[in-house]
Amino acid sequence: MDSEIFYKSASELDSLLDSGKLTSVELTKAVIERTRSIDAKLHAFISFDEEKTLNEAIQSDMRRKTGEKLSNLDGIPVGIKDLISERGQPLTCGSKILGGYVSPYDATVIERMRNAGCVLWGRLNMDEFAMGSSNENSYHGKVANPWDISRVPGGSSGGSAAAVASGETILALGSDTGGSIRQPAAFCGIVGLKPTYGAVSRYGLVAFASSLDQIGPMGRSVEDVATLFHVISGHDDKDSSSYPVDKTNHSMESVKNKRIKTIGIPSEYFGEGLDPEIRQTIEDAINFYKNAGHRVKEVSLTMTEYTMAVYYIIATAEASSNLARFDGVRYGYRSERAKDAVDLYYRTRGEGFGSEVKRRIMLGTYVLSNENFESYYLRAQKVRTLIRNDFMEVFKNVDLLITPVTPSPAFKIGEKSADPLQMYLSDIYTISINLAGLCALSLPCGLSSDRLPIGFQIIGKPFHEHEVLSLGYEFEQAHDFKNMHPAI
């Protein structure tokens, strides 16, 4: 068996499993061994249950022997970001305040992956309650970038990105509230899809900002990400924001079908603050599409300058509301120093939440207060509508947009920790997509002079994931970036 079987794509592994040259148990053991050998350096996992995971692999092998294969992901290990409920497994959201909590039910995406035969592998580290751009905010410790362990993997799905990039899992689920799938995917040299709001059920996802959160797939190839998206997407009665997606639109046949597109390049995304190496690398990618026959034109998104302020008002307001439920009374961490019921509430939240979560709760509570509601929160919601309208107006003349994902390659651990505003700017190219409810793909397009991955972003209209994936697949097939692996 290939000593680096854990670096093969899910589609390659599916073929090996079909042929009998590989079993799911062998594959799963290889991933477990890989995790055991390198995760002390990366800290991509918070916890894992080897016995449960191997039992799922055994069941998959039995299905294949009897001709009852459930899907092309049957027997393939998928890591789970630790804010998605999996029955019988710990769920901490990277926080002290959920210490000891075990999920009593499966999220809809977990249920759908079980029905597809996926092998569910471990709980992946993350910024606490998905609040962060570097994965330095986890109560369980910082995650390192496998390309350079002195650098961050991005956040908040840093554990998911690091695990996929390093071969600790074949695929992973992340969540994206303002860039938390795309930014770590770019930093770690993998592919990440932020689906349209409503395309994937949020039932069983612990909420950060309910109108922005979206679960999405992460993998080493566009095809793998498209396959996992096909499994987890679709309408769910348990999620009131769920939309009845036409799943035939994002079949692999549709993704692989090249169609000439008009691609918009927003001038506002290529201005001051963008690393010159990233600019040049993305311009090379744009030239590839020009040479392939696509029409490329410059466009303007005039509301871009307002996105950061709008995002941090709406996201923190929703976080303040959603995180009020963590009180030390019903589940999770409970302060032992409390004198009475009120003191219990204060001490539990004070001791249980980290500094970034407290910062965002306080900001959200402030903008929701009676004296500030209209001038901050209500006004931000109105500007959010203008931001979405801005995108939809541009999409009348183009099919897709191409932009950077991040202003720079992965930065050093601790480099931005003391300056929250500088940290927030790491998501400057991604947050508008969440505010507008669009879909976007991050995929690798090169390496910096320091041999750090560089990614670019393809943005699509609502529920046009198939077009975003198709354009990404075309680029990927003409380059070999999916076979770039870090030397850990």
Q: Could you list the active site residues? A: 81, 156, 180
- The C-alpha atoms of residue 131 and residue 16 are separated, in whole angstroms, by 39
The letter for the amino acid at 24 is S
Sign of CA dihedral 189, 195, 197, 199: negative
The vertex-218 CA angle with 215 and 224, nearest 5°, equals: 120
The DSSP result for 232-288, as a single string, is: HBS--TT-TT-----GGGGSHHHHHS----EEEEEGGGGSTT--HHHHHHHHHHHHH
The number of residues making up the chain comes to 488
Question: How far does the chain reach from its first CA to its final CA, in angstroms?
Answer: 21
**Residues 6 or more apart from 132 whose CB is under 8 A from it?**
155, 156, 356, 423
The letter for the amino acid at 433 is I
Q: Is 91 in contact with 49 (CB distance < 8 Å)?
A: no
Q: Rounded to an integer, what is the distance from CA 471 to the centroid of its chain?
A: 19
Burial of residue 33 (CB within 10 Å: 0-12, 13-18, 19+) is exposed
- Backbone angles phi and psi of 139, in degrees to 5: -65, -25
Query: How many other C-beta atoms can be found within 10 angstroms of the C-beta atom of residue 383?
Result: 17
Most distant CA pair in the chain, distance: 71
- The C-alpha atoms of residue 263 and residue 459 are separated, in whole angstroms, by 10
